[in-house]
A and B are shown apart, each in its own frame.
Chain A
Amino acid sequence: MKYSMLKRLFYLLVIVFPLLSFGNDDAAMLFKKANDLYAKSQYKEALNTYQQIIDDDHQSAAVFFNMGNAAYKTGDIPSALLYFEKAHKLSPGDEDINFNLKYANLKTTDKIDAAPEFFLSRWWRAFILSISAKVLSVWSVLFVLAASGALALYFFGNSVSVKKASFYGALALFFLGGLSIFMANRQLSYFDDHKQAIVFSNSVNVKSGPVDKSGTLFVIHEGTKVNIMDSNNGWMKVSLANGNEGWIKTTNVKEI
Chain B
Amino acid sequence: MKLRYSILTFLLFCTGTLFGQGIKFTASVNKNPVATGDIVEITFAVNGNAERFSPPQFTGFQVAGGPNESQSMEIINGNSSVSMSYSYELMAVKEGDFTIGPATTIVNGHSYTTNPIRIKVIKGRSVPQNSSAQTQNGPDNSITSAKTSNLAKSIFIKAVVDKSNVYMGQQITLSYRLYVRGVGIEQNQPDAIPELNGFWSEDIKHTQQQVQWHTETYKGERYNVADLKQTILFPEREGNLTIDPLGMKFVLRVQAPSEDIMDQFFGSYKQVPYTTKSAPVTIHVKPLPQAGKPDSFTGAVGEFQIESSVDKTTLKANDALNYKVKVSGRGNIKLLKTLSTNFPADFDKYDPKITDSVIENENGVAGDRYYNYLLIPRHQGDYTIDPLKFSYFNPAANRYVTLTTKAFHIKVDKGNSQSNVTAFSDGDKQDIKMLDKDIRYIKTDDSSLSNSGDLFFGSFGYYILLLLGPCLCFAAYLYRNWLIKNNSDIVKVKSRQAGKIAAKHLANAQNQLQAGNAKAFYEDVFKGLYGYLSDKLNIQYANLNKETIASAMKEKKVSSRLLDQLQDTLDLCEMARYAPVTHISEREVFEKAKSIINEIENEI
Q: Is the CB of B381 within 8 A of A201?
A: yes
CB distance from B380 to the nearest CB of A (A): 5
Q: Dominant SS at the A interface?
A: helix
Determine the distance from Cα of A62 to Cα of B437 in the docked complex, in whole angstroms.
21
Contact A62 B443 (CB under 8 A): yes
> When the two chains form their complex, are residues A145 and B449 in contact, meaning their CB atoms are under 8 A apart?
no
Report the bound CA distance from A157 to B462 in whole Å. 29
Counting CB contacts under 8 A, is B557 at the interface? no
Which A98-117 residues have a C-beta within 8 angstroms of B? 99-100, 103-104, 106, 109, 111
- B426 contacts the other chain (CB 8 A): yes
Please encode chain B, from 363 to 387, with 1 for each CB lying within 8 Å of some chain A CB and 0 for all others.
0000000000000001111010000
Contact among B381, B448, B470, B480 for A155, CB-based, below 8 A: B480
Q: Are A106 and B442 in contact (CB under 8 A)?
A: no
Query: Using an 8 Å CB-CB cutoff, how does the interface string of B419-459 with A read, 1 for contact, 0 for none?
Result: 00000101011001010011111111111111111111110
- Where chain B touches its partner, the secondary structure class is loop
Tell me whether B345 is interfacial, beta carbon within 8 Å.
yes
- Contact residues in A for B351 (Cβ distance below 8 Å): none
Whether A31 contacts B446 by the Cβ 8 Å rule is yes
B346, B445, B458 interface centre (most CB from chain A within 10 Å): B346
The CA of A216 and the CA of B470, in the complex, are separated in Å by 58
* CB atoms of A57 and B453 under 8 A apart: yes
Stretch of A17-25, A121-129, A225-233, A237-245 with 4 or more beta carbons under 8 angstroms from chain B: A17-25
The answer to whether B450 touches A103, judged by C-beta atoms less than 8 angstroms apart, is no
Residues in B neighbouring A202, C-beta threshold 8 A: 379-381
A184 in complex: contacting residue of B434, B447, B457, B472, CB < 8 Å: B457
Chain A contributes a number of interface residues (CB within 8 A of B) equal to: 67
Question: Is B477 an interface residue, CB under 8 A from the partner?
Answer: yes
Closest-CB distance, A53 to chain B (whole angstroms): 7
Distance in angstroms from A251 CB to nearest chain B CB is 13
Residue in B445, B448, B468, B477 whose beta carbon sits within 8 Å of that of A12 in the complex: B468
Contact with A along B461-494 (1 / 0, CB 8 A): 1100110111011001100100000000000000
Task: Collect the chain B residues with CB atoms within 8 Å of residue A145's CB.
Answer: 465, 468-469
* A132-154 residues at the B interface, CB under 8 angstroms: 133-134, 136-138, 140-141, 144-149, 151-152
The answer to the question of A63 belonging to the interface, with a C-beta cut-off of 8 Å to chain B, is yes
With A28-B449, A104-B439, A203-B381 as contacts: A188 and B466 at CB distance below 8 Å: no
B469 in contact with A59 (CB, 8 Å): no
Contact at A219–B443, with CB atoms within 8 Å? Answer: no
Q: How far is the CA of A72 from the CA of B439 in the complex (A)?
A: 8
| Per-position 1/0 for A19-45, Cβ under 8 A of B | 111111001100100010010000000
Could you tell me if B439 and A149 are in contact, using CB atoms closer than 8 angstroms?
no
**The one of A22, A99, A104, A141 that contacts B450, using a Cβ cutoff of 8 Å:** A22
Q: In the bound complex, how far is the Cα of B440 from the Cα of A148, in angstroms?
A: 42
- Chain A: minimal CB distance from B404 (Å): 15
The answer to whether A221 has its CB under 8 Å from any CB of chain B is yes
Please provide the chain A residues from 155 to 188 with a CB less than 8 Å away from any CB of chain B in the complex.
155-156, 181, 184-185, 188
**Does A66 lie within 8 Å of B449, measured CB to CB?**
no
CA of A248 to CA of B468, assembled, Å: 48
Does A247 lie at the interface of the complex (its beta carbon under 8 Å from any beta carbon of B)? no
B444 contacts A19, CB within 8 Å? no
Asked if B440 and A134 make an inter-chain contact with CB atoms under 8 angstroms apart, the answer reads no
Whether B289 is near chain A, meaning CB under 8 Å from some CB there, is no
A136, B473: Cβ atoms closer than 8 Å: no
Contact A31 B449, beta carbon cutoff 8 Å: yes
B344 at the interface (CB under 8 A from A): yes
Identify B457's interface contact among A19, A66, A137, CB under 8 A.
A137
B449 contacts A27, C-beta separation under 8 Å: yes
Q: Does A60 contact B (CB under 8 A)?
A: yes
Collect the chain B residues with CB atoms within 8 Å of residue A219's CB.
345-346
Please indicate the chain A residues that have their CB under 8 angstroms from the CB of B466 in the complex. Answer: 140-141, 144, 181
- Please measure, in the bound complex, the distance between the C-alpha atom of A207 and the C-alpha atom of B428, giving whole angstroms: 27
Question: Provided the pairs A103-B437, A136-B457 are in contact, do residues A38 and B473 lie with their beta carbons within 8 angstroms?
Answer: no
Within the complex, the shortest CB–CB distance from B496 to chain A, in Å, comes to 17
* Cβ–Cβ contact B462 & A141, under 8 A: yes
Contact residues in A for B458 (Cβ distance below 8 Å): 137, 188
CB distance from A57 to the nearest CB of B (A): 5
**A5-B443 Cα distance, complex, nearest whole Å:** 41
Q: Is the Cβ of A60 less than 8 Å from the Cβ of B446?
A: yes
Whether the Cβ atoms of A156 and B480 lie closer than 8 Å is yes
The answer, among A62, A152, A205, A216, for a CB contact under 8 Å with B476, is A152
Q: Tell me the complex Cα distance, A125–B441, Å.
A: 27
Interface residues of B (CB under 8 A from A): 344-346, 378-381, 383, 424, 426, 428-429, 432, 434, 437-458, 461-462, 465-466, 468-470, 472-473, 476-477, 480
Listed in ascending order, the chain A residues whose CB lies under 8 Å from chain B are 5, 8-9, 12, 16, 19-24, 27-28, 31, 35, 38, 53-54, 57-63, 65-66, 69-70, 72, 96, 99-100, 103-104, 106, 109, 111, 133-134, 136-138, 140-141, 144-149, 151-152, 155-156, 181, 184-185, 188, 201-203, 205, 216, 218-219, 221
A-B contact pairs, 23 of them (CB 8 A): A5-B476, A19-B461, A22-B450, A28-B446, A58-B450, A59-B449, A61-B448, A62-B442, A62-B446, A62-B448, A62-B449, A65-B442, A66-B442, A69-B439, A100-B440, A109-B424, A141-B466, A147-B469, A203-B344, A203-B378, A205-B346, A218-B345, A219-B345
